[in-house]
Amino acid sequence: MKLTRIHKGSAKNTLIFKEATKDSFGEGEFEFLDYFSIFDWGRFLDNPIKFKGIAMAAVAKKYFELLNKSGIKTHYQGMKDSTKMNISLVNVPEAYKNVPLNSKNYLLPIEIIFRIYTHPESSDLKKIKTGKKTYQELGYKEMPEPNKKLASVKISYSTKLEAEDRVLAREEARILAGLTEEEMSRLEKLALKVNEIITDHCESVGLIHYDGKIEVAKDVNGDFVIVDVIGTLDEDRFMVKIGENKYVDFSKQFLRNWFIDNGWKAIINKAKENAEQQGIKDWTAFCSKPPKLPEKISKLISEMYLTDAQIRTGEKLGEKLDVEVRSLKQVAKEMYDIQEAHKAGISNF
């Protein structure tokens, strides 16, 4: 099939072979890569994580299969090879415009976020601590505490197609996405069901599911369809408990923490301030390139992705790739020790 277009993402490419129409799906393919992105920088080209693409594809495949078995529609159409996934495509609406009611075969221009635990780096916690919002204004029944499970799963919304993600109130999200109140209620029930499937499966293998998101489309029949990918270490945040009150991030958040602790995130924040003051959109011109990850850290993060894929899919990826993959507890313990040393300014990398 002839390639018509390619969209290059930070961690995967989307290859388009047949464009969607208002009455039919398009045909495409995800190509999972060894790159990552944090803090809106784009691909960290100097810091590829070996085997990340294979691991991500395996986990995405697993959860699409679990959803399909549960009767939830997805755009997953099988694997082409270990890093390439066949998908159905829908139309993408214009950014910054409300989708008309009763539209079909389109991507909802919102992300649906679910929180099960309160992550120490939660944006909600930061808003509360800085006085920008009260916990009541953010929809909590009581003050959220780091690493504590919420009384019930909290659903929230943000924009999907805008230059920077923007938090939305429920009614704003409903109007932007072109949904009726009945459809909005169904969407929330769907999000809770997807979260339940991911959370229960993760708990069975020793991962604590803190928060995550889904992206959803409406198909030609007006039914909701889960799109993009779900439940991976890039989409959601997970923790592993090391000991009493000792937790370590077992997701892309570990990478974020690394660049926060070495000061690069502060440089980004300053660059964004400078760009805004001068009315310039591209803040990266005011910022130094991200520092290169030490080889030891890069290898450890690679093992994190492979360990995660092995325990959640049951596939022996280590054997297939001829690389040693340790247990979840072993990898998480080393990550915890390195994280604490890095925070304390101790480095032997």
pLDDT in tens, 215-224: 999 999 999 9
pLDDT, average across residues 142-163: 93
- Identify which of 93, 341, 90 has the alpha carbon closest to the alpha carbon of residue 223: 90
User: Does residue 349 surpass a pLDDT of 80?
Assistant: no
Q: What is the CA radius of gyration of the chain?
A: 20
Rounded to two decimals, what is the model's pTM? 0.94
Per CATH, which fold does 94-238 belong to?
A: D-amino Acid Aminotransferase; Chain A, domain 1 (3.30.470)
- Rounded distance, CA 282 to CA 311, Å? 40
pLDDT score at 232: 98
Measured CA to CA, the distance from residue 237 to residue 211 in angstroms comes to 5
Residue 139: per-residue pLDDT: 86
* Nearest-10 Cα torsion for 296, 300, 302, 307: 160
- Model confidence pLDDT, tens digit, residues 84-143: 999 999 999 999 999 999 999 999 999 999 999 999 989 899 899 899 889 888 888 889
pLDDT score, position 4: 81
% pLDDT > 90, the chain: 81
Percent of the chain with pLDDT over 70: 99
DSSP 99: P
Q: Any idea where the domains of the chain sit in the sequence? A: 94-238
The confidence band for 337, taking pLDDT boundaries of 50, 70 and 90, is: very high
Residue 342 has what pLDDT? 82
- pLDDT above 70 (res 170): yes
Q: Distance (Å, rounded) from C-alpha 302 to C-alpha 54? A: 11
Q: Is 317 left (phi over 0), alpha (psi -120 to 50) or beta?
A: alpha
Q: Tell me which amino acid residue 301 is.
A: I
Residue whose C-alpha is closest to residue 209's, from 186, 230, 185: 230
